[in-house]
Structure 1
Amino acid sequence: MRNFAALTALTLICAGCAAVPSGQPSAGVGVPGTASDMTDTRGLEGVLGSNEATLIRLFGKPRLDVVEPVGRKLQFIGAPCILDAYLYPDRQGREVVTHVDARRRDGAAVDRAACVAALQAK
């Protein structure tokens, strides 16, 4: 059962890393994501590996809290972007952020680190 949970988590993480077509950049938020942007974690150090309490301190109350069988998604929204933080159990069983996605309200991908910075500045 543990291997199934790990495989499911890995599958969800990999699905979230798919390349997104480029669009027009959003003012103040950065350039839309590309495959290389999705693997770049610069600017995400304060988010990746953090728990729910840290995310709430950084961004406020989440707009959505989606509990899945293996993990959880917290969504934070602001004027410049929407940030989805995916939490999965670490080796000690604590839910921590393993992946984040960022997009504009129209669905176009934006730089994840720029979105994190913009949501913290609000």
Structure 2
Amino acid sequence: MKVVWQLLPALVLAGCAATPAPVVAPPPPAPPPPGLQRLIGQDAAAVTRLLGPASLDRTEGPARQLQFVRPVCVLDVYLYPATPGGVPHVRTAAARKPDGSRIDPGACLSLIVPGR
């Protein structure tokens, strides 16, 4: 019986041995949200060419936020570098109406630049 008690910790640990998880390739990048194809992947210069001067241009760490306040909606565009020290490119956007209620960023973009 003494031998069983001596082997018990080893048997418990053997049952906890981790099996390696299968290597899974990362999913492909998601397509841009509807209406934002003109923005996603663009640098700040391309965004300002499309939308005009930003009402707010803010940098925090590697991220950059450009805010475009227009009568129909407010569009916040967020740029991040793909690699540390790289040029920031648009990764996402958020929008709201002047009263603060939500609006789809792609819809806001189309309201700001409908004919471009």
Give the alignment's Cα RMSD to 1 decimal: 1.9
1:53 aligned to which of 45, 48, 56: 45
TM-score of the aligned structures, taking structure 2 as reference length: 0.66
Q: Which stretches of structure 1, 4 residues or longer, exceed 2 Å deviation after superposition?
A: none
Q: Deviations over 1:19-57 (max 9, x none)?
A: xxxxxxxxxxxxxxxxxxxx9701111101111111111
What does 1:61-72 align with in structure 2 at a 5 Å threshold?
61-72=53-64
Q: Identify the residue that residue 77 of structure 2 maps to in structure 1.
A: 85
Q: Identify the residue that residue 106 of structure 2 maps to in structure 1.
A: 113
TM-score of the aligned structures, taking structure 1 as reference length: 0.63
In structure 2, stretches of 5+ residues that fail to align are 1-30
- The structure richer in helix per residue is 1
User: Contact 2:62–2:80 (CA<8 Å) still a contact in 1?
Assistant: yes
In structure 1, stretches of 5+ residues that fail to align are 1-38
Q: 1:50 to 1:40 in 2, by over 3 A?
A: closer
Which secondary structure state, in structure 1, belongs to the residue aligned with residue 113 of structure 2?
Answer: helix
Q: Identify the residue that residue 76 of structure 1 maps to in structure 2.
A: 68
The CA distance in 2 between the partners of 1:58 and 1:118, in whole Å, is 13
The CA distance in 2 between the partners of 1:73 and 1:45, in whole Å, is 18
Which secondary structure state, in structure 2, belongs to the residue aligned with residue 121 of structure 1?
Answer: coil
The CA distance in 2 between the partners of 1:42 and 1:121, in whole Å, is 14
* Deviation for aligned residue 1:111: 1.3
The CA distance in 2 between the partners of 1:117 and 1:90, in whole Å, is 26
Q: 1:53 to 1:111 in 2, by over 3 A?
A: same
| Aligned pairs, number | 84
